[in-house]
Structure 1
Amino acid sequence: MASPSVTSSSVASSAPSFRVWALGGIPEVRAGDDLAKLIAAAEPGLVDGDVLLVTSKIVSKAEGRVVEAADREAAIDAETVRVVARRGPLRIVENRQGLVMAAAGVDASNTPAGTVLLLPEDSDASARAVRDGLRDALGVDVGVVVTDTFGRPWRNGLTDVAIGAAGVRVLDDLRGGTDAHGNPLGATVVATADELAAAGDLVKGKAEGLPVAVVRGLSHVVASDDEPGARELVRSAADDMFRLGTSEAVREAVTLRRTVREFSDEPVDPGAVRRAVAAAVTAPAPHHTTPWRFVLLESAESRTRLLDAMREAWIEDLRRDGKSEESIAKRVRRGDVLRNAPYLVVPCLVMDGSHTYGDERRDTAEREMFVVAAGAGVQNFLVALAGERLGSAWVSSTMFCRPVVREVLSLPSSWDPLGAVAVGHAVGVARKRAVREAEAFLTVR
């Protein structure tokens, strides 16, 4: 039976066209097999400029990536470096190769019972080995793409994408050019290697036993050995707006919430702070109340006026405590984290809707309920700021001079400031947090 093929052509003879076909005659691949020799035997007529699309399964088999694993989940755990999203037994993870995909690419199909197939350890290196082998065997200069099947966010269905490449321009950066109407292209970077992989999948299929396809007619995508490979296709964490699933995003934001004491001069987006406030006011509260208020100090003048007044009040308190001027100066310097921040927020507690019992025990408990609710709102706020990639530091100082804060900021007498939150973009990378084992904080009855 002839191998499947697809031809793209146009009525206009000068228009670009290409042909893609699957290779028949490749035997069952086993550990230690030379893929380049197997491909050369199946298609000795390869020419310069062809692109080989090689299914990762046969690469993994040739490289001995078949492992004994009665429990596929354990194999997925071993290949996972980060869980991106989880729903029931399905996991989308980042694997050791930096790829974000279902089940870390661990495959239990097309492999003997009781074993699983892992992805190649370095798919770019695997592609280079096949490219070099075909150059030696046939004297041809071809591109090689190692492919695997992916699902995609927001889209149903699977398609093949490039996970390894050699001698192929994996990205075609059109930025700086213009379209057919002369409009500037400012964001267009085409994933050429993924498009090639998908084209090959049309003829290889998923169950036909045709693991290699050839594309001919697109020699312009074949390049030198210096091309960076398919790792160029993996979006960096800093640029990935959809790095996490919902529950994982919450846990990641909680983990990212760190006290930041040094901020850059980069301005803070007021919209980001308002989104964080919107998250803050979803915290639980007693009696269906809303015990939170957030005062945003967006102007340098308002921040300086408040901090100067607080410093004077603090110095007076310290002098009354009998502290030396040297000790006072040192303590005042500790408050510079607020003064150096480009944005300040003063969260406040309001007791509107609270109950008065006329009994000290119950009235104290009532206030404590509101304080706890306000604290939950502040925690929501700090976590949401981390989710916005903003650093923060909660400092308790306004709680020690509430009348001063209320006067300077013209706040109602019923608003109790609960410290101040310095907000900004952190300078440098936060130090690794000490591990706290949950068991140390648990008591089970």
Structure 2
Amino acid sequence: MTGLPAYRVWALPGIPEVRTGDDIAKLIASAATADGLPGLADGDVLMVTSKILSKAEGRVVQADDREAAIDAEAVRVVARRGPLRIVENRLGLVMAAAGVDASNTPAGTVLLLPEDPDASARRIRTGLRDTLGVNVGVVVTDTFGRPWRSGLTDVAIGAAGVRVLDDLRGGTDAHGNPLSATVVATADELAAAGDLVKGKAAGLPVAVVRGLSHVVVPDVGAGADDGVGGADEGARALVRDAADDMFRLGTSEAVREAVTLRRTVREFTDDPVDGGAVRRAVAAAVTAPAPHHTTPWRFVLLESAESRVRLLDAMRDAWIADLRGDGFTEENIARRVRRGDVLRKAPYLVVPCLVMDGSHTYPDARRNASEREMFVVAAGAGVQNFLVALAGERLGSAWVSSTMFCRDVVREVLGLPADWDPMGAVAVGRAAVAPPARVARDAAAFVEVR
């Protein structure tokens, strides 16, 4: 069996109860050099439970109300079921209760995660280098649940001296097939291996892995622990960027989060828009409520540049004629036309239309007007669904009312039936710049209770 890939992992006994101000590196060094233990060597990787770092760093806080502590640590609620909350915390980690832990700490207190787990890992690595003269990797671990999988496992929330990700993209497998999406979360695999010997209640907060020195970053002094050059980037590299996260939304909060993501975009990139994504958004749009079990929505997709230019040119000519008829100067007209150019800047346009199929006709004008209002409200609900669904597809949009002012022109250019009423136009694309911060609105200001 000699020569086969292998590694050893063992829990490190002898770590005492940690108190605020303790030097974790010295505690580990003392335990590792006790009689009968193999000590530490270059290329070893240490898995350190975050709880002992939290205690050493004074992250034990009085909190009779754990929920208030979770509120303070959370930046976004991802999902909620009963008292359980899955939240994103200030470190970008999505986990139960923001990592706030009421176990292994005195009654009336809770443990918060380390302020900066990567920095904590760097301090331990540097301390062990200075104390024992060894080059080791350090992984700070915490316990996570996982979507679609039962059970808990340890993952890396901090790291130093470890290649946390092993990017295999660009290589090939044993059959010569290209690897186009394979990035291995090495630090998480190490964390899980360490947890198998540490356990959850055995009082063994540190584990050592030996035999995987290829994952340890060469130690060239203090600079190696600074994350400079990307070789030692820390566990933050494991946190997926929001723009690339296909599963960012939770359960009951999904719609609310998607609504929050929906912003009016006025500057678009030239990136092409996936027509399939737009069609999925249409599928969401037509689930909106409507009167009399009708389907009063139609969505005209302008996927070719030629169709968009032809429509917008005709609309511009009609708009200029209207403005001249209203007595505006040529300078004012030119300025207004420029302001309305958001539709021209988008790589994709959608014209939502209202149809009155299934509407009721009444003997008096008042009831007929109310009937149309019901259908207009349903059309607005469908467009709102559409905009929110586009945001869920990571597409920006701007709903512009201009087609409503020249419906005959739009119907003629697009060859639409006479009973299709264009309800504005939606510019679709990827935002060229991040939208400004949303103006805060107090919901109570919009509520009247009777």
Mapped pair 1:429 → 2:434: yes
- Alignment partners' CA distance in 2, 1:166 and 1:311: 59
- Alignment partners' CA distance in 2, 1:388 and 1:87: 25
Give the deviation of 1:70 after TM superposition: 0.3
Mapped pair 1:352 → 2:357: yes
Give the deviation of 1:309 after TM superposition: 2.0
- Alignment partners' CA distance in 2, 1:325 and 1:129: 68
1:406-425 matched pairs, under 5 angstroms: 406-425=411-430
Which residue in the other structure is 2:305 paired with? 300
**Match among 245, 248, 268 for residue 243 of structure 1:** 248
**Match among 19, 42, 49 for residue 30 of structure 1:** 19
Q: Quick one: structure 1 residues 286 and 117, their matched pair in 2 at CA, closer, same or farther if it must change by over 3 Å?
A: same
TM-score (norm 1): 0.94
Question: Helix, strand or coil: the match of 2:252?
Answer: helix
Deviations 1:111-145 (A, max 9, x none): 11111111111111111222222222222222111
Which residue in the other structure is 1:343 paired with? 348
Which residue in the other structure is 1:186 paired with? 180
Kept in 1: contact 2:168–2:184 (CA 8 A): yes
Give the deviation of 1:319 after TM superposition: 2.6
Deviations 1:284-341 (A, max 9, x none): 1000001111111112222222222222222222232233333333333333222232
Give the deviation of 1:203 after TM superposition: 0.8
Q: What is the root-mean-square deviation in Å for CA atoms of aligned residues?
A: 1.5
- Alignment partners' CA distance in 2, 1:340 and 1:162: 43
Q: Please tell me the residue identity of whatever aligns with 1:75.
A: A
Give the deviation of 1:242 after TM superposition: 0.9
1:37-186 matched pairs, under 5 angstroms: 37-44=26-33, 45-186=39-180
Q: Please tell me the residue identity of whatever aligns with 2:411.
A: R
- Alignment partners' CA distance in 2, 1:141 and 1:409: 69
Deviates more, 1:101-110 or 1:164-173: 164-173
Mapped pair 1:202 → 2:196: yes
- Alignment partners' CA distance in 2, 1:326 and 1:42: 81
Deviations 1:214-266 (A, max 9, x none): 11122222213341111121111122111120333322221222222222211
Question: Helix, strand or coil: the match of 2:295?
Answer: coil
- Alignment partners' CA distance in 1, 2:315 and 2:131: 79
Question: Helix, strand or coil: the match of 1:94?
Answer: strand
- Alignment partners' CA distance in 2, 1:334 and 1:168: 52
Deviates more, 1:263-272 or 1:220-229: 220-229
Which residue in the other structure is 1:325 paired with? 330
Question: Helix, strand or coil: the match of 2:444?
Answer: helix
1:397-408 matched pairs, under 5 angstroms: 397-408=402-413
Give the deviation of 1:183 after TM superposition: 2.6
The 4+ residue runs of structure 1 with deviation greater than 6 A are none
5+ unaligned residues in a row in structure 2: which ranges?
34-38
Q: How many residues align?
A: 434
**Match among 351, 366, 375 for residue 371 of structure 2:** 366
Kept in 1: contact 2:80–2:251 (CA 8 A): no
- Alignment partners' CA distance in 1, 2:329 and 2:42: 83
Which residue in the other structure is 2:36 paired with? none
Give the deviation of 1:379 after TM superposition: 1.3
Q: Please tell me the residue identity of whatever aligns with 1:105.
A: G
Give the deviation of 1:385 after TM superposition: 1.5
Q: Quick one: structure 1 residues 294 and 222, their matched pair in 2 at CA, closer, same or farther if it must change by over 3 Å?
A: same
TM-score (norm 2): 0.93
Mapped pair 1:392 → 2:397: yes
Which residue in the other structure is 1:312 paired with? 317
Give the deviation of 1:371 after TM superposition: 0.8
